[in-house]
Amino acid sequence: MTTAEDAKETGRVEAFSDGVFAIAITLLVLELKVPHLDDGGGGRLAAALLREWPSYLAFVSSFASILIMWVNHHRMFTFIRRSDARFLYANGLLLFVVTLVPFPTAVLAEYFERPGSSVAAAAYAGTFVLASIAYNVLWLAAIGRGGKLLRPGVSSEQLEALTRRYRWGLPMYVLATMAAFVSVYLTIAICIGLWIFWVVAAWNA
Amino acid sequence: MTTAEDAKETGRVEAFSDGVFAIAITLLVLELKVPHLDDGGGGRLAAALLREWPSYLAFVSSFASILIMWVNHHRMFTFIRRSDARFLYANGLLLFVVTLVPFPTAVLAEYFERPGSSVAAAAYAGTFVLASIAYNVLWLAAIGRGGKLLRPGVSSEQLEALTRRYRWGLPMYVLATMAAFVSVYLTIAICIGLWIFWVVAAWNA
Amino acid sequence: MTTAEDAKETGRVEAFSDGVFAIAITLLVLELKVPHLDDGGGGRLAAALLREWPSYLAFVSSFASILIMWVNHHRMFTFIRRSDARFLYANGLLLFVVTLVPFPTAVLAEYFERPGSSVAAAAYAGTFVLASIAYNVLWLAAIGRGGKLLRPGVSSEQLEALTRRYRWGLPMYVLATMAAFVSVYLTIAICIGLWIFWVVAAWNA
Amino acid sequence: MTTAEDAKETGRVEAFSDGVFAIAITLLVLELKVPHLDDGGGGRLAAALLREWPSYLAFVSSFASILIMWVNHHRMFTFIRRSDARFLYANGLLLFVVTLVPFPTAVLAEYFERPGSSVAAAAYAGTFVLASIAYNVLWLAAIGRGGKLLRPGVSSEQLEALTRRYRWGLPMYVLATMAAFVSVYLTIAICIGLWIFWVVAAWNA
């Protein structure tokens, strides 16, 4: 296959993946519910909207997480020249976790300040444990088989730098999942702290 | 038309198709329902979430099926150079079945362990019978008319290899549909077995 | 601007439009409702599913209509080399009608066999009157301004052939809208007849 | 990196952004609710549909706003040659506000003619204040760092012209937000007036 056909082929994997990322990130808004008041009144509607803050927090947090996953995916694909079936299905596994995110987000928003919140937060952070595992599987599928999927000219230093930056993801998410049984706020703080770290690290790179 | 224009033209068919596949696969998550408990409590929320396992099974199974359909579609388009109206409408027929998948998935999730489960499972497997038929129609539209839609240099061996790998789809799905009246689990086992077979076959190709 | 930049620019208009078409066509499935039976039983679930036939008819009919609009849009863009703001907003007007389609579809599905069906059918066909008008506006924006948006080498015969094939759209949809007050079935028959005519005409072209 | 790789890289940012814009603009239709009448009848269904006019107004208004944001985004990207992490996250911030739009739209549609309308309208216009701020952040990320993300040959006159046309966005949206406490209609009139101004300005450019 020529280089142009290679580019077109991985281009379509990216297009499908972009579609899934874009839809999952946009579907999050469907979990924000319009409060139904029999008799609104300015103050009461404002109060009802503010009372939904766990939904907003879950929305912002999940939006940030999917955006970071997309940025990483985009970064990884700048190293990829072509795909094979193994890579396509590993990519599919990652997309599976991405499409799943709105569900634990909705569970967390509903149970944030109620009994059951630790189960909801563990399910939420646990989804990102799955996402980290899926990323590692995809990365192994990308760099395996003697590197034949990689763009020529990618140095092992570049590959290691990418590996290094994200190696904290899996242990931190496992920690966040266990922290749910101590405090829901601790789980959220670990997740958001990790995302701020990654954004700042990328910003200054 | 020049080669570049050809590439752009089929590129748009792929982009539209990718969009439909990506949305259908992501909409599946909307069928996962947050349990509404008056008084959660860790154990009760966990139990309520686990009780939804038929929804999770249907979600995973439908995700896998749409992903495999996308991989096949992607594979088929590597042989296609340009499109005509016949091919566009045959592609539209396949996309129709793809967009339909979330509905029988939701029906199956709701009735999996209740009376009516055999009808739900037959409708579920029957949707993949339709998908197989649509694939065959699309494939005939692609290779028909003297192969003028095909990329030059595609050998008849390559075409036959693709035809051969998927020729078990239609009879197996018909079998899965009939099996629904014996056991819902048998239907699901045939579908999932077929998908594992295809993924493993592609993985080792 | 160079030719490559032109292609990229209209490419993005097509990508955004494809996204809107793909989402609108896929959202239609959300209007198919899982029947909720207290005690299913094979026969009762089958009967409940069959009783939803107006939803299926509306789903098929709207899917076909959006698919045909997409095929026409795709065809039109093979004549277009670049875009300007006028063209972008005219395209936006068409996309507005496309995103609207799921709503009258849902209204028609709900009221098909009940009092109010003529209003529902008139709203349904009226949406396609709007779509026809939006197509004409877009087509005028595409061929206007001395043809500077057109790809060089497009002959006026090609433009006229495209104009001619779709000139029956607007009067037929107006007729279908008025027919709603005679019979809902007449409205649907006119719409579906028109779509079959277009598909067959394209198939044999 | 070569020019072709640059184009591919920003191409993917655009593809993901287009996906988010396309989905957000299409999800708006989900807020249009089919009226549920026990006994329809032509006149009663027509009346019930017309009574939903605030939903239609909010739908049209939000559709126009997202379309204009997309056109501006498209325009801005014709100046961009490549992206960096800072730009990707600034773009993500804008997409965050875009995905948010359906929620205040739904709140406004529900409370338009009821007590609480001023809070709903302030939240609605306030969302566009956020969008304006996000646009300015993205624009700064695009033209900052010595212009290394810009396409060579973009003149500072072109950059200033784009900056100039949209500098009224932020103060006008702040005004529209404050106007909500005087009259909801004034808020909507300012928003729609601004959009008409931008479309007309672009149309005549």
- By C-alpha distance, the chain A residue nearest D119 is A42
A71:D86 CB<8 A:
no
Contacts of C19 in chain A (CB under 8 A): 19, 22
Q: How far is D158 from chain B (nearest CA, A)?
A: 30
Query: So what's the pLDDT on residue B42?
Result: 65
The per-residue pLDDT for range B156-176, each reduced to its tens digit, is 787 787 777 667 788 999 999
Average pLDDT over residues C152-168: 76
Q: What percent of chain D has pLDDT over 70?
A: 91
Cα distances (Å, whole numbers) of residue B145 to B11, B97, B137: 21, 25, 13
* pLDDT over 70 at A7, yes or no: no
Q: Which helix H or strand E contains D182, and what residues bound it?
A: none
Query: So what's the pLDDT on residue B8?
Result: 57
The two structure tokens encoding residue D23: 């989905």
Q: Is C34 on the interface with B (CB under 8 A)?
A: yes
Query: So what's the pLDDT on residue B1?
Result: 41
Q: Is A41 on the interface with D (CB under 8 A)?
A: yes
Q: Is B79 on the interface with A (CB under 8 A)?
A: no
* pLDDT over 90 at B12, yes or no: no
Q: Is A1 on the interface with D (CB under 8 A)?
A: no
Separation of alpha carbons D155 and D143, rounded Å: 12
Q: How far is D174 from chain B (nearest CA, A)?
A: 35
Give A46's contacts (C-beta < 8 A, 6+ positions apart). Answer: D116, D119
Contact by Cβ (8 Å): D177, D114: no
Helix axes A85-100, A102-111, angle to 10 degrees: 20
Average pLDDT over residues B131-150: 85
Contact by Cβ (8 Å): B54, B187: no
Prediction pTM value: 0.88
Separation of alpha carbons D23 and B70, rounded Å: 20
B67:A118 CB<8 A:
no
Could you tell me how many CB contacts below 8 A there are between chain A and chain B?
103
Q: How far is D76 from chain B (nearest CA, A)?
A: 23
Torsion (CA) D43, D49, D52, D55 in degrees, nearest 10: -160
In sequence order, the β-bridge partners of residue C150 are C80
Q: Is A71 on the interface with D (CB under 8 A)?
A: yes
Report residue B2's pLDDT band, with 50, 70 and 90 as the boundaries.
Answer: very low
Separation of alpha carbons B198 and B47, rounded Å: 34
* pLDDT over 80 at B197, yes or no: yes
Report residue D39's pLDDT band, with 50, 70 and 90 as the boundaries.
Answer: low
Looking up tokens 């008025």 gives C178
Contact by Cβ (8 Å): A8, B78: no
Contact by Cβ (8 Å): B54, B109: yes
Percentage helix, strand, coil for chain C under 3-state DSSP, each rounded to 5: 80, 0, 20
The per-residue pLDDT for range B97-132, each reduced to its tens digit, is 999 999 999 999 888 888 888 999 999 999 999 999
Separation of alpha carbons D69 and D21, rounded Å: 9
Separation of alpha carbons A85 and A81, rounded Å: 14
Query: So what's the pLDDT on residue A98?
Result: 94
The two structure tokens encoding residue B192: 């999932």
Separation of alpha carbons D177 and D180, rounded Å: 5
**B31-66 as b/e, with b when 16 or more CB fall inside 10 Å?**
bbebbebeebebebbbebbeebebbeebbebbbbbb
- Greater confidence (B200 vs A185) lies with A185
Q: Is B18 on the interface with A (CB under 8 A)?
A: yes
* pLDDT over 60 at D154, yes or no: yes
Q: Which domain holds residue C95?
A: 3-204
Q: Of A68-72, A159-163, C174-178, D76-80, which one has max mean pLDDT?
A: C174-178
* pLDDT over 80 at A68, yes or no: yes
Query: So what's the pLDDT on residue D149?
Result: 82
Query: So what's the pLDDT on residue B186?
Result: 94
Contacts of B23 in chain D (CB under 8 A): 23
Separation of alpha carbons C163 and C168, rounded Å: 10
* pLDDT over 50 at D1, yes or no: no
- Greater confidence (A32 vs A5) lies with A32
Query: So what's the pLDDT on residue D169?
Result: 84
Query: So what's the pLDDT on residue B38?
Result: 75
Cα distances (Å, whole numbers) of residue D81 to B59, D3, D76: 40, 8, 11
Average pLDDT over residues C178-200: 90
Q: Measuring CA to CA, which residue among D122, D70, D24, B22 is closest to residue A30? A: D24
The per-residue pLDDT for range A101-160, each reduced to its tens digit, is 999 999 998 888 888 889 999 999 999 999 999 988 898 888 877 778 888 777 778 778
* pLDDT over 70 at D167, yes or no: yes
> How far, in whole angstroms, is CA D145 from its chain's centroid?
27
Query: So what's the pLDDT on residue B169?
Result: 83
B70:A16 CB<8 A:
yes
In sequence order, the β-bridge partners of residue D80 are D150
Residue D159: other Cβ atoms inside 10 A: 17
* pLDDT over 60 at C194, yes or no: yes
B74:A88 CB<8 A:
yes
Count of domains forming chain B: 1
Q: Measuring CA to CA, which residue among B143, B135, B137 is closest to residue B159? A: B143
Minimum-distance CB partner of C116 among D30, D41, D74: D41
Report residue C1's pLDDT band, with 50, 70 and 90 as the boundaries.
Answer: very low
* pLDDT over 70 at B43, yes or no: yes
Contact by Cβ (8 Å): C21, C66: yes
Query: So what's the pLDDT on residue C2?
Result: 47
Query: So what's the pLDDT on residue B52?
Result: 87
Contact by Cβ (8 Å): C106, C32: no
* pLDDT over 90 at D38, yes or no: no
Task: Return the amino acid letter for A176.
Answer: A
* pLDDT over 50 at D168, yes or no: yes
- Greater confidence (A152 vs A192) lies with A192
Q: Is C3 on the interface with D (CB under 8 A)?
A: no
The two structure tokens encoding residue B34: 């947050």
* pLDDT over 50 at A2, yes or no: no
Report residue D91's pLDDT band, with 50, 70 and 90 as the boundaries.
Answer: very high
**A10-31 as b/e, with b when 16 or more CB fall inside 10 Å?**
bbbbbbbbbbbbbbbbbbbbeb
Average pLDDT over residues C200-204: 73
**B114-140 as b/e, with b when 16 or more CB fall inside 10 Å?**
eebbbbbbbbbbbbbbbbbbbbbbbbe
In sequence order, the β-bridge partners of residue A107 are none
Q: Is D40 on the interface with C (CB under 8 A)?
A: yes
* pLDDT over 60 at B58, yes or no: yes
- What DSSP string describes B106-171? HHHHHHTTSTTHHHHHHHHHHHHHHHHHHHHHHHHHHH-GGGTTBPTT--HHHHHHHHHHHTTHHH
Average pLDDT over residues A10-39: 86
Give C137's contacts (C-beta < 8 A, 6+ positions apart). Answer: C90, C93, C94
**B96-110 as b/e, with b when 16 or more CB fall inside 10 Å?**
bbbbbbbbbbbbbbb
Looking up tokens 């009663």 gives D44
The two structure tokens encoding residue B29: 């998550």
Query: So what's the pLDDT on residue B152?
Result: 79
The per-residue pLDDT for range D22-32, each reduced to its tens digit, is 999 988 988 88
Report residue C201's pLDDT band, with 50, 70 and 90 as the boundaries.
Answer: confident
- By C-alpha distance, the chain D residue nearest A81 is D5
Q: Is B92 on the interface with C (CB under 8 A)?
A: yes
Mean pLDDT in chain D?
A: 85
C28:B99 CB<8 A:
yes
Please tell me the least confidently modeled range out of D57-66, D78-87, D174-183: D78-87
Average pLDDT over residues C43-71: 88
- What DSSP string describes A68-112? HHHHHHHHHHTTB----HHHHHHHHHHHHHHHHTHHHHHHHHHHT
Q: Of A66-80, B94-108, B157-171, D110-124, which one has max mean pLDDT?
A: B94-108
Contact by Cβ (8 Å): C6, C151: no
The per-residue pLDDT for range C109-134, each reduced to its tens digit, is 888 888 888 999 999 999 999 999 99
Report residue D2's pLDDT band, with 50, 70 and 90 as the boundaries.
Answer: very low
Cα angle A36, A38, A41; round to 5 = 90
